[in-house]
Structure 1
Amino acid sequence: MSGAAAATALPGRPAPTDAPAGDKVSAGRLIAFMAMVFGMFMAILDIQIVSASLRDIQAGLSASADEIPWVQTSYLIAEVIMIPLSGLLSRALSTRVIFTISAAGFTAMSVMCAFSTTIGEMIIWRALQGFIGGAMIPTVFATAFTVFPPSKRAMVSPLIGMVATLAPTIGPTIGGYLTDLFSWHWLFLVNVPPGIIVTVTVWRLVDFDKPDFSLLKRFDWIGFAAMAVFLGGLEYVLEEGPTKDWFQDHHVFIVFLFMSAACILFFWRAFTNPDPIVDLTAFSNRNFWAGCLNSFVLGIGLYGLTYLYPVYLGQVRGFSALMIGETMFVTGIVMFVAAPIVGRLSTKVDLRLMLICGLLLFALGTFQASFITKDWTFWELFVPQVLRGAALMMCMVPINNLSLGTMAPQHMKNASGLYNLTRNLGGAVGLAMINTLLNDRTDLHLQRLRDQVAWGRFRAEETLTQLGQAFQSLGSDADQAALKQLAAMVRREAYVMALGDVFFVLSVLFVATIVLVPIMRKPRPQPAGGGGAH
Structure 2
Amino acid sequence: MSSTPAPAPAPAPAPVPAPAIADRPPPTFRQKAGFFAMIFGMFMAILDVQIVASSLADIQAGLSASIEEISWVQTSYLIAEVVMIPLSGTLARILSTRVLFSLAALGFTVMSFACSLATSLEAMILARSLQGFFAGAMIPSIFSTAYTMFPRRSMGKVSVVIGLVATMGPTIGPTLGGFITQALGWHWLFNINIIPGLIVAATVWSCIDIDQPEPAYLRGLDVSGLVALATALGTLNYVLEEGPRNDWFEDQTIFRLAVLSAASGCVFFWRAFTYRQPIVDLRAFSDRNFALGCFFSFVVGIGLFGSVYMTPLFLAQVRDYNALDIGIIMMVTGAFQFSVAPLVGTLSGRMDLRLMLAFGFSLFCFALYLNSFLTAESSYWEFFVPQAVRGVSLMFCFVPVNRLALGTLAPDKLKNGAGLYNLMRNLGGALGLAVINTLLVERGAHHLSYLSENLTLSRPEVQAYIDRLAERLGDSLAGGVAGDPELAAMKLLFQLAQREALVMSFNDCLLLIGLTFGAALIVMPLVKKPRD
For the superposition of Structure 1 and Structure 2, which TM-score range results when normalised by the shorter chain? over 0.9
Distance 1:291 1:109, change over 3 A: same
Structure 2, unaligned runs of 5 or more? 1-15
- In structure 1, the residue matched to 2:315 is 313
Distance 1:229 1:348 in 2: 44
Answer yes or no: is the 8 Å Cα contact 1:23–1:152 preserved in 2. no
Q: Percent identity?
A: 51
Superposed displacement of residue 482, structure 1:
2.5
Mapped partners of 1:458, 1:115: distance in 2: 61
Deviations 1:368-419 (A, max 9, x none): 1111111111110001111111111001000001000000111000000000
Contact 2:26 2:149 (8 Å CA) reproduced: no
The separation in 1 between residues aligned to 2:190 and 2:356, in whole angstroms, is: 37
Structure 2 CA distance for partners of 1:450 and 1:152, relative to 1, 3 Å: same
Asked if 1:521 corresponds to 2:523, the answer is: no
Deviations 1:182-233 (A, max 9, x none): 1111111111111011011111111111000011222211111100110011
Q: Quote the offset at 1:469 in angstroms.
A: 3.2
**Structure 1 CA distance for aligned equivalents of residues 139 and 340 of structure 2:** 22
Query: Where does the alignment leave 5 or more consecutive residues of structure 1 unmatched?
Result: 526-534
Aligned ranges 1:502-513 → 2 under 5 Å? 502-513=509-520
Shift of 1:9: 7.3
CA contact (8 A) 1:29 1:205 kept: yes
- Report the counterpart of residue 471 of structure 1 in structure 2: 473
- Give, in whole Å, the separation in 2 of the partners of 1:425 and 1:387: 25
DSSP-derived class of the 1:25 partner? coil
Contact 2:17 2:411 in 1 (8 A): no
Instruction: Name the residue aligned to 1:447.
Output: 449
SS in 2 for 1:471: helix
1:9 and 1:199 map into 2 onto residues whose CA distance is 29
| Corresponding residue SS for 1:207 | coil
Instruction: Give the equivalent residue in structure 2 for 1:231.
Output: 233
Distance 2:468 2:166 in 1: 51
- For the 8 Å contact 1:294–1:516, the answer to whether it is kept is no
Residues of 2 paired with 1:233 and 1:416: CA distance?
A: 22
The aligned counterpart of 1:532 is none
Q: Which residue of structure 1 aligns with residue 355 of structure 2?
A: 353
Q: Deviations over 1:448-486 (max 9, x none)?
A: 100121112223223323332343213415344323221
AA partner of residue 500 (structure 2)? E
Letter of the 1:441 partner, please give it.
R
412-421 or 154-163, larger mean C-alpha shift: 154-163
Separation in 1, partners of 2:17, 2:314: 53
Match of 2:494 among 470, 483, 487: 487
Aligned-residue offset at 1:105? 0.3
String of CA shifts for 1:269-316, please: whole Å, max 9, x gaps: 111111111000000010011111100000000000001101110000
Whole-Å separation in 2 of the counterparts to 1:509 and 1:9: 36
The amino acid that maps onto 1:485 is L
TM-score, length-normalised on structure 2? 0.94
Letter in structure 2 aligned against 1:497 = M
Q: Which residue of the other structure, out of 207, 210, 214, is the alignment partner of 1:208? A: 210
Aligned length: 512
Deviations 1:135-185 (A, max 9, x none): 000000110111111111011111111111111111011011101111111
CA distance 1:395–1:213, change in 2 (3 Å): same
Shift in alpha-carbon separation, 1:499–1:235, aligned structure 2, 3 A: same
5 Å-filtered alignment, 1:36-75, equals 36-75=38-77
Matched residue SS, 2:67: coil
**Equivalent position to 1:389, from 374, 391, 402:** 391
For 1:466 and 1:105, the matched residues in 2 are separated by: 64
Q: TM-score scaled by structure 1?
A: 0.94
Q: Which residue does the alignment assign to 1:103?
A: 105
| Alpha-carbon distance in structure 2 between the residues aligned to 1:503 and 1:7 | 45
Q: CA deviation at 1:436?
A: 1.4
Matches of 1:286 and 1:6 in 2, distance apart?
22
